Amino acid sequence: MYQKAIYDEAIRRIQERRISAQKQQETRTDQIRAKIPEIAELDRQLRNTCLSLAKTFGTKDCKERIKKLEQYCESAENMLRRILVQHGYPENYLDTQYLCPHCNDTGFVGGKPCECLIREIGMLGAEKLNAQSQLSLCSFNSFSLSYYNNLPPEEYREMCNIFEKCRSYAHNFNLHTSDNILMIGNTGLGKTHLSLSIATVLLQNGFSVIYDSVGNLMHKLEMEHFGKNSDGNTLDLLLECDLLILDDFGTEFVTSFTKSMIYTIINSRINAEKPFIVNTNLVEEDLQEQYGNRILSRLFSACIMQFYGRDIRQQKRIQQNRSQEART
C-alpha cells in the first residue's frame, strides 16, 4: 500500500500538469484569435449558436436542433483546422496538449489509476528512498580509465569494455529488454561509480531508480516488517521501480529474513522483467556460502562484469600525498 503522503503528492503533480496544459491552450487560443480574425469570428458564431440552442431545450424540435448543432460544430471544427494550416500552424494547435493521452492528466482511466499515476508514485517513492541514502550520484565524465593503466593488457581492455558497456546500457535503457548486471570485484575499483553513473542518466531521462546499500535497505524492510515503522512501503518500491541498484551486496548482516527478502526482490524483478544491478566484493564461492544456490543462480544469470585493478581511493591518496610533498 502506498503511503498517503506520496499518493497525495503524485495526484497533486498530475493535477498541476492538467491545469498547466489547459492554461497553455487558453494562451494559444487568445493568440490565434488576435492574429487570425476568421477564427475569432468562427468562434463567435459558434458561441451564439450554442446560446440559441440552449433556449430551445424542452421544445418539440429539440432533438432535431441538437443534431443540426452537432453537424455545425463538426463543420466549424474542420474549417478551423484548415484555417490554422493555411496560416502555418499545426491543425491541432488549439487542442489541449495533455502530457498523458490515456487519462488527459487526470490520473485515472475508467476509475482505475492510470500508468502515469503509478509511475509518478514510483518516482516519488524512489526520490524519498534515495534522499535517505548515503550515496551520491556520479557521472561517466568523472570516471577515469587512467587508474587502470598499470593493469595487464587484457585486464585493461576488459575495464575499457565495462565502461563502454555501462555507458551504452544507460543511454539505451529499455525497461523490459535491458539486462540485469552483476558487478564483481574488490572494493574501490569503480563498481559504485559506474552503477550510479547509469542511475544519473536514467533519472535525467525520467526513469525511476532506487540505489542504496543492501544493508540499509534490509534495515528498512526489517523495521517495516516487524511493525517498528508500519507506515513504510519500501518493498513495493523496490519491486516496482524501473531500475534497482543494490550496492555493497554481501556486507549486510545475513539472517533468514534478509535472505528471504533478497530472494523475493531478485526473483520478483526477474519475473517482472524489471532490471537490477548488484555490486559485490564477494567471489562466487563466498556468495554461494552466504546465500545458497537459489539466490546465486539468479545472480549469475545476469550480465557479469568482473572488475580489475587497485583501490582507486588509495591511488588518489597516494597522488595527493605526492602532490603535497612536491609543494613542500
Coil, strand, or helix at residue 95?
Answer: coil
Q: How far is CA 139 from the centre of its chain?
A: 17
How do residues 184-194 score in pLDDT, each as one tens digit?
999 889 998 99
How do residues 66-107 score in pLDDT, each as one tens digit?
777 777 777 777 888 888 888 888 888 888 899 898 999 999
Please list, in sequence order, all residues whose beta carbon lies within 8 angstroms of the beta carbon of residue 71, skipping any fewer than 6 positions away.
none
Least confident interval from 25-39, 57-71, 249-263: 57-71
pLDDT at 48: 72
- In which band, very low, low, confident or very high, does the pLDDT at 225 lie, cut at 50, 70 and 90? confident
* CATH number for the domain whose boundaries are 133-316: 3.40.50.300
Cα–Cα dist 210/279, whole Å: 14
How do residues 280-309 score in pLDDT, each as one tens digit?
999 999 999 999 899 999 999 999 999 999
pLDDT at 156: 95
- In which band, very low, low, confident or very high, does the pLDDT at 201 lie, cut at 50, 70 and 90? confident
Question: Maximum distance among all alpha carbons in the chain?
Answer: 102
Q: What is the mean pLDDT of the chain?
A: 84
Residue 74 cell numbers, joined:
463538426
Please list, in sequence order, all residues whose beta carbon lies within 8 angstroms of the beta carbon of residue 39, skipping any fewer than 6 positions away.
32, 33, 80, 83, 84
Q: Which residues of 282-311 are buried (b: 16+ CB within 10 A; e: fewer)?
A: beeeebbebbeeebbebbeebeebebbbee
Cα–Cα dist 209/243, whole Å: 5
In the sheet that 209-213 helps form, which strands lie side by side, from edge to edge? Answer: 209-213, 243-249, 276-280, 181-184, 303-306
pTM above 0.75, yes or no: no
pLDDT at 61: 65
- In which band, very low, low, confident or very high, does the pLDDT at 245 lie, cut at 50, 70 and 90? very high
**Most confident range, picked from 31-45, 128-142, 166-180:** 166-180
> Taking Cα atoms as reference points, which of 136, 143, 185 lies closest to residue 167?
143
Residues of the chain with CATH 3.40.50.300: 133-316
